Amino acid sequence: MQTTTLILLLGFMAIAGFYFGRGRSLALVGGPGHGSALHSLPGYYGYFVAIWSVLPALALLLLWVLIEPRVVVALVISGLPQSYQDLSAGELNLLVNNIQNLAAGDVVSVDVDEVLQNAAAMFNNYVERSRQMLAVLALGFAGMGGAIAWNKVNPDLRARNRVEGVVRWLLIAASSIAILTTIGIVLSVLFEAIRFFQKVPLTEFLFGISWSPQTAIRADQVGSSGSFGAIPLFTGTLLITAIAMVVAVPVGLMTAIYLAEYSSRRVRDIAKPLLEVLAGIPTVVYGFFAALTVAPWVRQTGESVGLQVASESAMAAGLVMGIMIIPLVSSLSDDAINAVPSAMRDGALGLGSTRSETMTKVILPAALPGIVGGILLAVSRAIGETMIVVMAAGLAANLTANPFEAVTTVTVQIVTLLVGDQEFDSAKTLAAFALGLMLFVVTLVLNVIGLSVVRKYREEYE
Amino acid sequence: MSDARTTLEKVEAGLARRRRKEATFRILGMFATAVGVLFLGVFFATLIAEGASAFRQTFMQLDVELREEVIAPGGELDLVYADFDGIVRSALREQFPDVSGRGDRRQLYRIVSAGAGYQLRDMIAASPDIIGTTQTVWVPAASNVDMLAKGNIDPTIDESLRPLSDKQIGWVNELQEAGKLEQRFNKALFTNGDSREPELAGIQGAVMGSLYMLIVTIALSFPIGVAAAIYLEEFAPKSRWSDLIEVNINNLAAVPSIVFGLLGLAVFINWMGLPRSAPLVGGLVLTLLTLPVIIIASRAAIKAVPPSIREAALGLGASRMQVVFHHVLPLALPGMLTGTIIGMSRALGESAPLLMIGMVAFIVDVPGSLTDPATALPVQIYLWADSPERAFAERTSAAIIVLLGFLLLMNLAAVVIRKRMERKW
C-alpha cells in the first residue's frame, strides 16, 4: 500500500474516532441536552479518541519509513552469495545501487546477471512485504488505540485537560525544532570537519597560503596530496566583503538619514518600497547581473583608464553585493536613528544647530551602537553570500589585495567542492565541511554580537 | 579684536559655511537614495531589454513529405525508430535544390532545430492518417538562426567570428524573402523541460520542481512555525531555556543559507538516505531555512493581539489553550499568513542550499512526484547563466522575468492580506 494512501486512511480513522468519541460521551449522559453532566465539552472526548488512534500509528509510520531502507538493504545483502558479501564497502554500495535501479526498472550500469536479477526480485519482494506489514500494523495500532480511548470515555474523564496536554507537547516539540536545527548544523559540519583535520593538520588549513584541493588520481602523481591552506580564501572573502561594505555602509546610512530627516513624505513613500524590492530580488539574479552586465562594464572602465582588470574581478562581485546589502544597512540604521529619543533631537535643533549638525553630532553618536550592530549583521550576510560570488568571482585562489584581480571565496569553494558526484571521504570533499564550519562559526559570532548590540541598544532608549 | 565680537557675530560669521555643509549633506543623502533606486531602474531595464525577445522564437516553414516507407515500413507505425530527421532533411533539400556536396548539405541541415523531427513524430502520433501526404509545417529554427533574426548576430563581421557561415545566412535570407521565416510566441519556453538546444529549452521542469518544493515547505513550515510561535509567546515559562530558543531562532535567521545546504547534504542525504536531487529533500532544507522567518513573524503577530482579549476570554472561564486557539490565533492569522508568504518567497528565490543537495543536475524530464530528480527555477537560471550560447543568455533573462513575476505575485498577495484583514486596536 502506498504511504500516502495509508496516511489518508489514518486521517479517516481520526475523523471517525472523533465522531465515535463525541457520540459516546453524549450517549453516556443521555443525549445532547445533557452535555453539562460531562466534565469537558463533548468535542474534547472526540479529540481524545482521535488523538489516541492516530498519534501512535503516525509515530510508527515515521519510524518505519526511516528504518525500512536500511533493513531491506541489509536483508538483500545477506541473501547474496558469499563472493559478493566479501566486496569492499564502496563496491557493495555500487552493487546495492544497481540492484535498486534494476528493481525500479531504471537503467543499470553493469551487465545484468542472474544474481543481480534475483537480488532485485528479492529487493522488490522485501519492500512489498514491508509495506504490507506496515499497513497492517499501522491500521492495527490506530484501531486499537482508538478502541482503548473510546472505552475510557466516561463523564468524569478530564478529556479537555488530556487533549490540551498533548497539544502542549506538540507545541513544545515544534519549538524545539529550531534548537535541533542548530544542533544538526553544528554536528554535521563538525564531524566531517574533524575527519578532514585528521587528514590535514589544523595549522596547515588555518595558516597555509596555498589552496589547490584538486587531488591527483594516483598517489604517485604530482600534486597527489593537494594543498589546503585556506588563507587565500579568507583574504578573498574579506576583499569582496570590504568592497561590498564600502558601497553599502555609506549609501545605506545616508539613505536612512535622508529618508528619516529630509525627504518629503511622498518621496519616502515611493523610495522605501523600492529599496525593499532590492532586498527581495533573489541572489542568483544579482549574480547573473554581476557576471553579465557589471563585470564587463568594470573591465571596460578599468581598461579605459589603463588598469589590468581580470574578467572575473573582485570589484564586480563586491559592487553588486554592496548594492544587495544597501536595504539591510539602511533599514537597520533607520531603526537605530528612530530609537534615539526625539528630546535629544529637539534639544539640538532648539540650540540652533543645523539639521546636518544635529544628525552628525547628536543623533549619530547616540545611535552608533545600533548602527555598528547593524553593520556587523551586514558583514555576516556578505561573508555568507554565495550565488553572487559563485557566478561573478573566480575560482583561482589568488593571495592578493588588488580588487581588479580574480579572487575566490569560502562559499565559492564549498560549492565547487561539493557540486557533482564525488567520493564522500576524500580530503577534497571533507574540506568543504571544514570551510563550512569556519563560515558557520564566524557568521555566528558576528550575528550574536550584532544582534545583542542592536537589541540592548534598543532597550536602552525605550 | 576677536574677543570683542559678540556671540551673534561669531555665529553669523560661520553661518554661510554651515549652510553650505548642510546643503552638501542633503545632496549626499539624495544621491545615496538615488543610487539604490537608479540601480533598480538600470537592472529592470537591462533585464527586460535582454529577456523580452526570448518570449518569441523564429520558426521556418517546411513542406515535409511524410512518406509511408519511412514512417511506417510494412504498414506498421514505427514512432521510435523512424527517421524523422531524414524527412526534415529531405524537405530542406527540396527547398534548396541547388545545394550539393556533403559539407554544404550538413551546413544546410543546421539551420533547422533538432526538435523538428520530434515535432513531426508528435504530429503523426496525434493523427496517423496524414501519413503519405505532404504537409506544410512550421518548425523551430536553430538557435543561431533565431539569434540572427533577432539581430543578435552581426552578419557583417568576418565569417570566422560568427556561428553562422555566409551560405547559411544566404539561405536564411532566402527563406525570409519567401515569407517562410516567422517569429511566433515561444511556447516551448513554458512547456518544455531543460535542453541542450536553446530553442527547445524550457522552464516547465524547473517550475514544477519549485512548486513541489514549495508544497513540502509550506506543508511543514507553516504548522510548525505557528505552533512554535504560539508556544514561545503564550506558554513558555521565562527561563534560560526559552531565552536560549529565542536567541537561537534569531541567529538561525541570519545563518548563511549555504550552511543549511551542508546540513541537508549531511543529514537528509548521507544519514537518512533520502534521494539526491529530489524536491522532497529541497523542501525539507527550505523548511528549516524559512522556519525562523515564519516564527519571528508569527510571534510579532501574536504579540500584536491586545492582552484585553485574552483577559476577557480567561475571565469567562476559557482555558489558556482555548484562549489561544479560539481567540488569539484567529486574530493573529493575517499577520502569520503574511509572514509565511514572505518566507515562501524567500524559499522560492533560494538557490545556494539546493546546489549542495544535488539539484543542479541537467534534467530534461518534468518531475512527476516528490522524489523524482528535479531542479528549481533559480537553479535553472544559474545553469543557463553558465551556458556559453548567446541564446541561453536571452532565455536566462526570460526565466528571471518569470521568477520575479512569481515573487511579485506572492508579495502582492501578502500586501493584500495585510491590508484586507489587518485590524488596528
Last residue of a domain, one of B139, B157, B192: B192
Neighbour count for residue A327 (Cβ, 10 Å): 22
Q: Which domain range does residue B7 map to? A: 2-52
In a domain, B121, yes or no: yes
**Chain A CB within 8 Å of residue B37 CB:** yes
Residue B179, Ramachandran bin (φ over 0: left; ψ between -120 and 50: alpha; else beta): left
> A280 at the B interface (CB within 8 A)?
yes
Looking at the fold, whether B47 and B112 belong to one and the same domain comes out as no
Residues B6, B132 within the same domain: no
Q: How far is B346 from chain A (nearest CA, A)?
A: 8
Beta-strand pair B56-65/B181-185: antiparallel
Residue A209 distance to chain B (closest CA, Å):
24
Q: How far apart are CA A429 and CA A419, in angstroms?
A: 10
Asked if B318 is an interface residue toward chain A (Cβ–Cβ < 8 A), one would say no
- Flag if A292 and B28 touch (Cβ within 8 Å): no
Q: Does B355 touch chain A (CB under 8 A)?
A: yes
Fill in the amino acid letter for B383.
Answer: L
State the Cα–Cα distance between residues A296 and B309, nearest whole angstrom: 60
Shortest distance between the Cα of B25 and any Cα of chain A, in A, equals 6
B416 lies in the same domain as B269: yes
Residue A138 cell numbers, joined: 499501522
> Vertex A286, ends A281 and A289: CA angle to 5°?
130
What's residue A220's pLDDT?
Answer: 56
Chain B 161-200, residues with CB within 8 Å of chain A CB atoms:
none
Burial A382-400 (b: 16+ CB within 10 A, else e): bbbbbbbbbbbbbeebbbe
B369 touches chain A (CB under 8 A): no
Residue A457: the pLDDT is: 79
CA distance A456 to A448: 12
3-state helix, strand, coil in chain B (%, to 5): 70, 5, 25
Place of cell 522488490: A124
Are B355 and A189 within 8 A, CB to CB? no
- Alpha-helical (H) ranges within B130-278 are 143-149, 166-177, 188-191, 204-230, 240-252, 257-263
Please indicate if any CB of chain A lies within 8 Å of the CB of B326. no
Cross-chain residue pair A178–B228, CB shorter than 8 Å: yes
Please judge whether A432 and B36 are an interchain contact, meaning their C-beta atoms are less than 8 angstroms apart: no
Looking at the DSSP bridge assignments, the partners of residue B140 are B59
Note whether A353 and A391 are within 8 A (CB): no
Q: What is the CATH number of the domain that holds B387?
A: 1.10.3720.10
Assigned domain for B197 exists: no
Q: Are residues B354 and B400 in the same domain?
A: yes
Residues B215 and B362 in one domain: yes
B235 with A323: Cβ contact below 8 A: no
Q: Point out the domain boundary residue: B170, B192, B214.
A: B192
Contact A446, A376 (CB under 8 A): yes
% of chain B beyond a pLDDT of 70: 97
Question: Domain check: are B45 and B65 in the same one?
Answer: no
A371 contacts A248 by C-beta, under 8 angstroms: no
Q: Are residues B64 and B163 in the same domain?
A: yes
* Region of residue B306 (phi > 0: left; psi between -120 and 50: alpha; otherwise: beta): beta
Of A184, A278, A359, the CB nearest to B36: A278
Same domain? For B30 and B123 the reply is: no
**pLDDT of the residue at A168:** 93
Residue A424 has what pLDDT? 60
Containing H/E element for A365? helix A364-384
Q: Which DSSP state fits B274?
A: P
Search chain A and give the residue with CA nearest B272: A66
For the CA atoms of chain B, what is the radius of gyration? 31
Largest CA distance in chain A: 96
Taking alpha carbons only, the member of A26, A86, A82, A14 closest to residue A51 is A14
Tens-level pLDDT at each residue, chain A (462 residues): 577 888 899 999 999 999 999 989 888 888 778 878 888 888 899 999 999 989 999 999 988 888 887 888 888 888 777 777 777 777 777 777 777 777 777 666 666 677 777 888 888 888 888 888 888 999 998 999 999 998 888 888 888 999 999 999 999 999 889 889 999 999 989 988 998 898 888 888 888 888 887 665 555 555 556 788 888 899 999 999 999 999 999 999 999 999 988 889 999 889 888 888 888 899 999 999 998 889 999 999 988 988 888 878 899 999 999 999 999 999 999 988 888 888 999 999 999 899 999 999 999 999 998 899 999 999 999 999 999 999 988 787 888 888 888 889 999 999 988 886 556 667 788 888 999 999 999 999 999 999 888 888 777 776
∠ CA B351-B355-B358, nearest 5°, is: 135
Nearest to A439 among B30, B259, B292 (CB): B259
User: Nearest-CA distance from B15 to chain A in Å?
Assistant: 10
- Tell me how far CA of residue B180 lies from CA of A28, A84, B136, B189, B351, in angstroms: 83, 63, 11, 22, 42
Residue B198 lies in a domain: no
Half-sphere exposure of A185 (CA within 13 A, CB side): 26
Q: Which residues pair with B139 in a beta bridge?
A: B60
Q: Examine residue B247 and state whether it is found in any structural domain, yes or no.
A: yes
Q: What is the ipTM of this complex?
A: 0.89
Among B residues 287-306, those touching chain A with beta carbons less than 8 Å apart: 288, 291-292, 295
DSSP B96-154: STT--SHHHHHHHHTTB-TTHHHHHHHHHHH-GGGTTSEEEEEEEBPHHHHHHHTT-S-
Q: Which grid coordinates are listed for B54?
A: 526570448
Contact A419 B360 (CB under 8 A): yes
Secondary structure, 3-state, A17-76: HHHHHHHHHHHHHCCHHHHHHCCCCHHHHHHHHHHHHHHHHHHHHHHHHHHHHHHHHHHH
In the block, which residue shows the cell 510508527?
Answer: A60
Identity at A208, one-letter amino acid code: G
In a domain, B199, yes or no: no
Can you tell me the distance from the alpha carbon of A57 to that of A140, in angstroms, rounded to the nearest whole number? 8
> What residues of A are in contact with residue B323 (Cβ under 8 Å)?
none
**How many distinct structural domains can be found in chain B?**
3
Which residues on chain B are in Cβ contact (under 8 Å) with A443? 254-256, 259
Segment holding A392, helix H or strand E: helix A387-392
The grid coordinates listed for A450 are: 550584532
Contact (Cβ atoms closer than 8 angstroms) between residue B138 and residue B180: no
Q: Are the beta carbons of A18 and A49 closer than 8 angstroms?
A: yes
Q: How many residues are there in chain A?
A: 462
In the block, residue with C-alpha cell 537605530 = A336
Q: Are residues B344 and B212 in the same domain?
A: yes
Task: Report domain extents, chain A.
Answer: 3-157, 227-461
* Residue B403 resides in a domain: yes
Q: What's the gap in Å between the CA of A156 and the closest CA on chain B?
A: 18
- From B138, B166, B192, the end of a domain falls on B192
Q: Do B106 and B238 reside in the same domain of the chain?
A: no
Torsion from C-alpha of B322, B325, B330, B335, nearest 10 degrees: 130
Residue B38 lies in a domain: yes
Whether B291 and B253 have beta carbons less than 8 Å apart is answered as no
Question: Phi, psi (5° rounding) for residue B185?
Answer: -60, 135
Instruction: Give the 3-state secondary structure percentages of chain A, helix then strand then coil, rounded to 5.
Output: 80, 0, 20
- Of B152, B204, B198, give the one whose Cα is nearest residue B402: B204
pLDDT less than 50: residues of chain B: 1
Residue A96 CB contacts under 8 Å (≥ 6 apart), including other chains = A73, A76, A77
* A414 contacts in chain B (CB < 8 Å): 258, 262, 356
Separation in Å, CA B206 to CA A276, A327, B118: 26, 29, 21
CATH topology of domain A227-461: MetI-like fold (1.10.3720)
